[in-house]
Amino acid sequence: MVDRHVAARGITDTRILQAMREVPRHLFVAPVVASKAYGPGALPIGANQTISQPYIVARMIELLDLSGKEKVLEVGTGTGYQAVVLSKLAAKVFSIERVSELAQRAMDLIKTLKITNITMKIFDGTFGWSDQAPFDRIIIAAAAPEVPQPLVQQLARTGIMVLPIGSGDRQRLARVRRVGTGVQIEDCGTAEFVPLVGRYGWKE
């Protein structure tokens, strides 16, 4: 999977490639599609949510520009695949999932895999995690109508946030940096994600 669907599409960071080789992706998808876990596509995980295609997971993490020392906030844990990959590339990962059945599955998988640097909670991720802020990096695994303001405020001064912005087939992958009281947004290409639902996202 990593060679064919990630490295072959231009991801060259050896740390990211190795981390993805180490994480058993089939554990994080619905059993009925486990045979497709190492293919190129996004897959259902239940509750109308998906696990992103391997390339886009790698691309978003690449855009975070991790050195290994960062505290990362992830919004949209799903079943925990991206959080586990991040746990191998950052110092600490704080992950929020609003769907309790997915969050419980993620917690169980993280425990089974004996990963100790991920902390999770069930909550509306568009509020962020204020009592753990600031975060060096923030990654959002669902498409927002705009950059959620609470997350901007929780981003460290030199931090980076990566998220898809837009709806339907008009989504763009964005890399956001704080500049004074505002933000600088870099367009990083097309994206296709489920909507970010919450107080500072799309309404249900």
> What's the length of the chain?
204
Q: Kindly state whether residue 204 falls inside one of the protein's structural domains.
A: no
Q: Kindly state whether residue 105 falls inside one of the protein's structural domains.
A: yes
pLDDT digits (tens, 9 = 90+) for 7-52: 999 999 999 999 999 999 999 998 999 999 999 999 999 998 999 9
Greater pLDDT, 97 or 30 = 97
Q: Cα angle at 165 between 161 and 166, to 5 degrees? A: 175
Active-site residue (options: 52, 95, 100, 167): 52
The C-alpha atoms of residue 112 and residue 165 are separated, in whole angstroms, by 33
Which phi and psi (to 5°) does residue 106 adopt? Answer: -60, -45
Where residue 159 sits, what CATH number does that domain have? 3.40.50.150
Q: Kindly state whether residue 147 falls inside one of the protein's structural domains.
A: yes
Residue 77: which domain range? 2-191
Whose CA is closest to 52, among 40, 64, 70? 40
Q: Kindly state whether residue 198 falls inside one of the protein's structural domains.
A: no
Question: Mean pLDDT, to the nearest integer, of 178-184?
Answer: 86
Helix (H) or strand (E) holding 15: helix 14-22
Residue 204 has pLDDT above 90, yes or no: no
Q: Kindly state whether residue 117 falls inside one of the protein's structural domains.
A: yes
Decide if 104 contacts 134 (C-beta within 8 A). no
The C-alpha atoms of residue 62 and residue 14 are separated, in whole angstroms, by 10
The C-alpha atoms of residue 151 and residue 148 are separated, in whole angstroms, by 6
Question: Mean pLDDT, to the nearest integer, of 98-125?
Answer: 97
Q: In the prediction, which pLDDT does 86 show?
A: 98
Q: Kindly state whether residue 25 falls inside one of the protein's structural domains.
A: yes
Using a pLDDT cut of 70, give the percent of the chain over it.
Answer: 100
Q: In the prediction, which pLDDT does 179 show?
A: 85
Q: In the prediction, which pLDDT does 102 show?
A: 97
Alpha-carbon dihedral sign for residues 187, 13, 83, 48: positive
Instruction: Work out how many domains the chain is built from and give that number.
Output: 1
Question: Mean pLDDT, to the nearest integer, of 184-195?
Answer: 95
String of DSSP letters for 65-132: ---S--EEEEE--TTSHHHHHHHTTSSEEEEEES-HHHHHHHHHHHHHTT--SEEEEES-GGG--GGG
Which band of pLDDT confidence, cut at 50, 70 and 90, is reported for residue 168? confident
Cβ neighbours of 24 (radius 10 Å):
12
Q: Kindly state whether residue 8 falls inside one of the protein's structural domains.
A: yes
Residue 182 has pLDDT above 90, yes or no: no
Using a pLDDT cut of 90, give the percent of the chain over it.
Answer: 94
Which band of pLDDT confidence, cut at 50, 70 and 90, is reported for residue 79? very high
Residue 181 has pLDDT above 80, yes or no: no
Which band of pLDDT confidence, cut at 50, 70 and 90, is reported for residue 188? very high
Catalytic residue status for 100: no
pLDDT digits (tens, 9 = 90+) for 122-158: 999 999 999 999 999 999 999 999 999 999 999 999 9
Decide if 61 contacts 85 (C-beta within 8 A). yes
